[in-house]
């Protein structure tokens, strides 16, 4: 924990970057965490484009502890990292950056993988075999790693741009995962997986009919959280199916970001972590 020469806690600055970013609930989550920990830290949302990212990073001073990143910055930041965790290397993207002042470098982390796995586990889903993945962007890479850690052996990706699936195909080979693909406009409704994971961005609504069997038997994990429910989630809710909302993923991955910013490592638990996480969830109206 960062302390000044007098032993009193220093003011540290952090931010979530993206474009657009005004919708982000990360400031509420992090503010609640640092308040619960008694840290006088400031965490804000800052609109930063890909072109502006290098200058933004270069202009940070010693008060800056770290950054959270949304797309496309998760991949744009990679050339600036001096070190990265296993999940960043695997997925080719970092959603968390720690300013390592001692070694004068940036350390990149991917906490989205943890966010996905813990959201499934919190919903009572501890193992998966088959998954349908909607969307093929950077978050899809984290989902592939996460569902593999839950035991998935087959994933079918539905996307509007199958020609851009090269990185995901390569990742699936590394993970020894059977990967299929299908167009979003012609989904095979006879395939009823254990889970459907939508990585379609916030506010994107596509009229998808995955069929009554999927609504009843597959768990839906929709990473979008604003507005909620999405059209897809509404179909599941209407049939009484199981839905995991994206706000759960945001909260779980933010907890690991707080660990990184406070303790310097994702595996080092916070003091009274259960109470800290409860405060974070309350800040975004998630039940405890």
Residues 25, 65 within the same domain: yes
CATH of the domain at 201: 3.40.50.720
**Percentage of the chain surpassing pLDDT 90?**
82
Mean pLDDT of 268-275: 97
Domain count, the chain: 2
When the pLDDT of each residue in the chain is averaged and rounded to a whole number, the result is 93
Same domain? 227 vs 128: yes
pTM equals 0.94
- 45-79 burial by CB neighbour count: b if 16+ within 10 A, else e? beebeeeebeeebeebeeebbbbbbbbbbbbbbee
> What number is the average pLDDT over the span 42-46?
98
Evaluate whether residue 258 is within a structural domain.
yes
Q: What is the per-residue pLDDT across 182-205, written as a single tens digit (0 to 9) for each?
A: 998 889 999 999 999 999 876 666
* CATH code where residue 271 lies: 3.40.50.10860
Contacts of 31 (CB under 8 A, 6+ apart): 43, 283
Average the pLDDT over each of 32-41, 51-60, 96-105, 257-266 and give the range with the smallest value.
96-105
Indicate whether 268 belongs to any domain: yes
pLDDT of residue 185: 86
Q: H or E element: which one contains 37? A: helix 26-37
Rg (CA), the chain: 19
Checking if the pLDDT of 2 tops 60, the result is: no
Examine residue 148 and state whether it is found in any structural domain, yes or no: yes
Choosing from 25, 30, 74, 75, the catalytic residue is 74
Task: Respond yes or no: is residue 74 known to be catalytic.
Answer: yes
167 inside domain: yes
**174 and 90, same structural domain?**
no
Co-location of 149 and 233 in the same domain: yes
Residue 133 and residue 89 share a domain: no
Range of the domain at 165: 124-241
Distance of alpha carbon 65 from alpha carbon 57, whole angstroms:
12
Q: How far is CA 91 from the centre of its chain?
A: 12
**Cβ count within 10 A of residue 184:** 18
Q: Is the pLDDT of residue 206 over 80?
A: no
Same domain, residue pair 100 and 161: no
State yes or no: pLDDT of 6 exceeds 60. Answer: no
| pLDDT value at 3 more than 70 | no
Residue at 54 is within a domain: yes
The answer on 261 and 203 residing in a single domain is no
Q: Tell me the pLDDT tens digit for each residue of 159-169.
A: 988 888 999 99
Residue 69 lies in a domain: yes
């Amino acid at each position: 924990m960062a302390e000044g020469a007098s032993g009193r806690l220093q003011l540290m600055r952090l931010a979530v970057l993206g474009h657009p970013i005004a919708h982000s609930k990360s400031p509420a989550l992090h503010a609640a965490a640092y308040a619960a920990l008694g840290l006088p830290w400031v965490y804000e949302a800052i609109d930063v484009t890909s072109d502006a990212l290098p200058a933004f990073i270069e202009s940070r001073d010693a008060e800056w502890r770290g950054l959270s990143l949304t797309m496309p910055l998760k991949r744009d930041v990679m050339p600036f990292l001096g070190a990265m965790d296993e999940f960043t290397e695997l997925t080719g993207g970092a959603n968390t950056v720690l300013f390592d002042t001692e070694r004068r470098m940036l350390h990149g982390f991917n906490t989205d993988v943890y966010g996905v796995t813990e959201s499934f586990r919190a919903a009572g889903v501890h193992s998966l075999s088959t998954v349908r993945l909607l969307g093929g962007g950077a978050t899809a890479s984290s989902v592939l790693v996460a569902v593999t850690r839950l035991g998935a052996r087959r994933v079918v990706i539905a996307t509007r741009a199958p020609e851009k699936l090269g990185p995901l195909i390569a990742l699936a080979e590394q993970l020894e995962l059977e990967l299929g693909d299908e167009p979003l406009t012609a989904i095979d409704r006879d395939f009823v997986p254990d889970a459907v994971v939508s990585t379609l961005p916030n506010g994107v609504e596509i009229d998808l009919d995955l069929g009554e069997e999927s609504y009843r038997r597959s768990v839906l994990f929709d990473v979008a959280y604003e507005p909620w429910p999405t059209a897809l989630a509404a179909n599941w809710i209407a049939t009484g199916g199981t839905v995991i909302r994206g706000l759960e993923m945001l909260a779980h991955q933010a907890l690991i970001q707080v660990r990184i910013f406070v303790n310097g490592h994702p595996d080092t638990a916070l003091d009274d972590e259960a109470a800290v996480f409860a405060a974070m969830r309350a800040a975004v109206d998630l039940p405890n």
